Structure 1
Amino acid sequence: MRRFFCFLAVTLAVLLSCACSAQPADTHTAAIGAEFAHDTSAFTQGLLYYDDALYESTGQYGQSRLRQVEPASNTVTRELRLPDRYFGEGLARVGDHLFWLTWRSGRAFVFDIHSFEQIGTRRYDGEGWGLTYDGRRLIMSDGSATLRVLEPSDFSVVRRIEVHDGGRAVDKLNELEYVDGEIWANIWYSDRIARIDPDSGAVLAWLDASPLRTALGPAADGANVLNGIAWDADSGRIYLTGKYWPKIFTVAPPPDIPPTLD
């Protein structure tokens, strides 16, 4: 009898643990800081911050561009275009190299970040959507609930991350950014950003970015989906924008990520 009750206690503990882990993650609302002008012709795909500049990749056949932008003035200091047969997608920096995905061509282009000279290509299967770098490996999305972890040298798949919120798979993962040990992902056709544990794939929390769309005012009518996350690790600023948006916003770090002190 005693053994039975011990077994029952252990079973209940396991069930309670599972029930707790299946609870959906909390949501925090984005708090807007600064606002900057953004090119409304930019179908933003990838966004990153490096050395006081934003690097942005855009999509659409015949319109895919890679450019370096001075945020405060919205001045494009360097730009190149992909050949018309490619649809540009996500962007990530590895040292002095920029990796730029394409949508359905199975090819990533590698550029020198200082000269924008092409220095290589990489191949991959399926679609390319978002891309980020965790300091060791690249992480790529393809619109599903699965992220691929890649070796930058040859894009070989090291492992896969199945993203979930409680017991529910989270798909439509798009633009990615590595923020303070987490993977942040835009959700396609949503104003929400998932903050993902790179080890387990669990959504740690959600960021509700709907206040940004409200802040666009009348210009929101011409704006497409939220897309574009850039992390300035030195200042703690997070840059957010969207496809065809007239503005880029900075938002404060969520309460569980302490701001960087100057």
Structure 2
Amino acid sequence: MRRVTATGWRAVAAAAVLAACTAAPPADGTPADGAVPVIEPVVLGELGHDPAAWTQGLQADGADLYEGTGESASQLRQLDPATGDLLRSAATPHGYYGEGITVVGPRIWQLTWRDGVAVEWDRATLTPLREVPVAGEGWGLCFDGTRLVRSDGSDRLRFHDPNDFTETGSVAVTRDGRPVGGLNELECVDGQVWANVWYTDTLVRIDPGRGVVTAVVDATALADAARRAGGNILNGIAHLRGDEYLLTGKHWPAMYRVRLEVPGPR
């Protein structure tokens, strides 16, 4: 999402999200979604990351690594997966405010924040192919092999046809019956959806069929204060293989290769 650096807001938002992710079941008897594990990422290595990048989306696909950025320098970028160095980039058309990205075969879809469109790119040339209308705000985006999954900053995941972006349904996300809002950058992995939670260093894993949170990642210790100028927070998750991922944040100077070791069944 967009730049906000008020540390007071960050503290309030983080407290609200952690309360939603860890609170006891509601007093009205709503059934709990089950014991949700809370884990911390295990750091395996570190790559460079352009500190000028206001990261909105991050995805690894085969030997390729892509990043979508926002603010006034909204771009679609290809990065070197071994070093994090920028290989090539293209500005979003018409000065659109770029948001989440996802790879669909030879194409890349990129959301815009409030411009009301998604941009389809040619992956080989990083050339825009077309724009399609999208109702509401665009935040995070991923592809589960069949459908696109979009977040809009609320507690809802929205599903879209990957060919023309037609919205085909949605699901509200809860933890113990309570809404988990601020869903932002997304990553689809093995039928589950990982989501960065806006203005926190929390990730949640979501069962998109039921809309329930199945795991929580507390990544507050991932980057020290020196790497968080202006209070910039975690936003960027790319699945590599197995339980290995790349994590980064807005204007962070590094990406972290981590293991997310979630115990038990989903």
TM-score (norm 1): 0.85
| CA offset digits 1:100-155 (Å, max 9, x no partner) | 11000111111111111222222111110000000000000000001110001222
Which letter does structure 2 place at the counterpart of 1:252?
A: R
45, 60, 65: which one pairs with 1:54? 65
C-alpha distance in 1 between matches for 2:53 and 2:111: 16
3-state DSSP of counterpart to 2:199: coil
CA displacement, residues 5-54 of structure 1 (integer Å, 9 cap, x when unaligned): xxxxxxxxxxxxx6652556221111111111100000000000012231
Q: Which has the larger radius of gyration?
A: 1
SS at match of 2:71: coil
Please identify runs of 4+ aligned residues in structure 1 that moved more than 4 A: none
Residue correspondence of structure 1 range 102-113 to structure 2 within 5 A: 102-113=112-123
Give the letter aligned to residue 248 of structure 1.
M
Alignment of 1:169 with 2:176, yes or no, is no
Partner of 1:9: none
Q: Which residue does 2:257 correspond to in 1?
A: 250
Q: Is the 8 A contact 2:64 2:78 kept in 1?
A: yes
Counterpart residue identity of residue 105, structure 2: G
In structure 2, C-alpha distance between the alignment counterparts of 1:46 and 1:223, rounded to whole Å: 19
Q: Aligned partner of 1:74: which letter?
A: G
Q: Distance in 2 between matches of 1:139 and 1:242?
A: 21
Displacement, 1:66? 0.7
Greater Cα offset, 108-117 or 217-226: 217-226
- Structure 1: 5+ residue stretches without partners: 1-17
After TM superposition, give the deviation of residue 179 of structure 1 in Å: 1.8
In structure 1, how many angstroms separate the alpha carbons of the residues matched to 2:85 and 2:174?
39
Aligned to 1:228: 236
How far 1:220 sits from its partner (Å)?
2.7
Unaligned runs of 5+ in 2: 1-28
RMSD, aligned α-carbons? 2.0
**Higher relative contact order, chain-length normalized (CA < 8 Å, sep 6+):** 2
Which of 128, 135, 139 is the matching residue for 2:138? 128
2:53 counterpart of 1:42:
yes
In the aligned structure 2, how far is the partner of 1:256 from the partner of 1:74? 30
Is residue 2:99 matched to residue 1:89?
yes
Q: Is the 8 A contact 1:223 1:246 kept in 2?
A: no
Mean CA deviation greater in 248-257 or 190-199: 248-257
Is 1:238 the counterpart of 2:249? The answer is no
Whether contact under 8 Å (2:243, 2:261) holds in the other structure is no
1:156 to 166, 180, 194: 166
